[in-house]
């Protein structure tokens, strides 16, 4: 399910930039002088930078074709993140092979649980300023990372589509996803080609081997 639909609210409305902190100069009040004034019980007035407030309008949430495309994207992410793979066409990996790194496997499981059992991690993945998906990619098997990069490109196009549509939410209609369908088809055909070149077996997570610490 699309992150916006889950919470019935828009996440890509335009915001004003936050003000930058002023550059301190020789004539500014210093931390030392402030602390000294506090000890003496004196008051020091510092002009804080004020920022214009945005009057947030309560838009009526509208379901649109972007949400359908995002739902397809999440199905692909489910099979990418919430499954393990076995590479049948590769030699038996060594214990140091990143494909079977226990740390990476544990991190991948943690991301899978967060994404598919909690709403906020999905929202974070779909925010323009978020880096969460990049971290998720880094925990995947190297055999899957090229596919993850393609899906990341699709994710960024989706976010761009949301930003375009939500510049004026009152005008969102059936054309909101125009221009994205062709790219989705192309991306998934590219993924299918990558998978056809490999001999991958996808299966549910298997139990991690117990360690001596588990029995203490």
Residue that the structure tokens 């919470």 belong to: 7
CA distance 87 to 31: 60
Task: Name residue 201's beta-bridge partners.
Answer: 86
Residue that the structure tokens 């692909």 belong to: 76
- Whole-number pLDDT of residue 55: 54
For residues 77 and 69, is the Cβ–Cβ distance under 8 A? no
Residue spans of the domains in the chain: they are 65-215
Radius of gyration of the chain, Cα coordinates, nearest whole angstrom: 24
- Could you report the per-residue pLDDT of 17-72, keeping only the tens digit for each? 555 555 555 456 677 777 787 788 777 666 665 655 555 677 888 889 999 999 99
- Could you report the per-residue pLDDT of 105-134, keeping only the tens digit for each? 788 888 888 888 888 888 899 887 768 888
Helices 102-117 and 65-81: angle between axes, nearest 10 degrees: 150
- Could you report the per-residue pLDDT of 75-104, keeping only the tens digit for each? 999 988 888 777 665 444 444 454 444 455
CA distance 70 to 145: 20
CA distance 124 to 11: 10
What is the 8-class DSSP label of residue 202? E
- Whole-number pLDDT of residue 47: 62
- Whole-number pLDDT of residue 73: 95
CA contacts within 13 A on the Cβ side of 174? 0
- Whole-number pLDDT of residue 152: 92
Q: Where are the alpha helices (DSSP H) in 65-131?
A: 65-81, 102-117, 119-125
pTM of structure: 0.72
CA distance 32 to 25: 14
- Going by pLDDT thresholds of 50, 70 and 90, the confidence category of residue 201 is confident
Please check the confidence at residue 171 and state whether its pLDDT lies above 70: yes
CA distance 65 to 68: 5
For residues 155 and 139, is the Cβ–Cβ distance under 8 A? no
Q: Kindly list the distances between the CA atom of residue 142 and the CA atoms of 16, 134, 137, in Å, as whole numbers in the listed order.
A: 39, 14, 9
What is the 8-class DSSP label of residue 211? -
List phi, psi (to 5°) of 182: -65, -40
């Amino acid at each position: 399910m699309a992150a916006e639909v889950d919470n019935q609210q828009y996440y890509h409305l335009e915001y004003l930039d936050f003000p930058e902190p002023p550059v301190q100069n020789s004539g500014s009040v210093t931390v030392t002088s402030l602390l000294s004034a506090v000890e003496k019980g004196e008051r020091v007035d510092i002009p804080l930078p004020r920022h214009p407030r945005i009057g947030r309008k309560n838009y009526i949430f509208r379901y649109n074709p972007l949400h359908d495309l995002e739902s397809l994207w999440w199905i692909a992410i489910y099979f990418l993140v919430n499954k393990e793979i076995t590479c049948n066409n590769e030699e038996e990996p060594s214990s140091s092979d990143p494909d079977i790194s226990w740390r990476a496997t544990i991190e991948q499981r943690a991301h899978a649980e967060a994404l598919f059992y909690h709403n906020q991690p999905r929202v974070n993945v779909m925010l323009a300023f978020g880096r969460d998906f990049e971290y998720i990619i880094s925990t995947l098997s190297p055999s899957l990372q090229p596919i993850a990069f393609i899906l990341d490109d699709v994710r960024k196009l989706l976010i761009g589509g949301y930003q375009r549509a939500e510049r004026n939410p009152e005008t969102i209609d059936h054309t909101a996803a125009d221009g994205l369908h062709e790219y989705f088809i192309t991306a998934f055909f590219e993924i299918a080609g990558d998978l056809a070149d490999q001999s991958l077996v996808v299966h549910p997570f298997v139990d991690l081997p117990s360690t001596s610490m588990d029995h203490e």
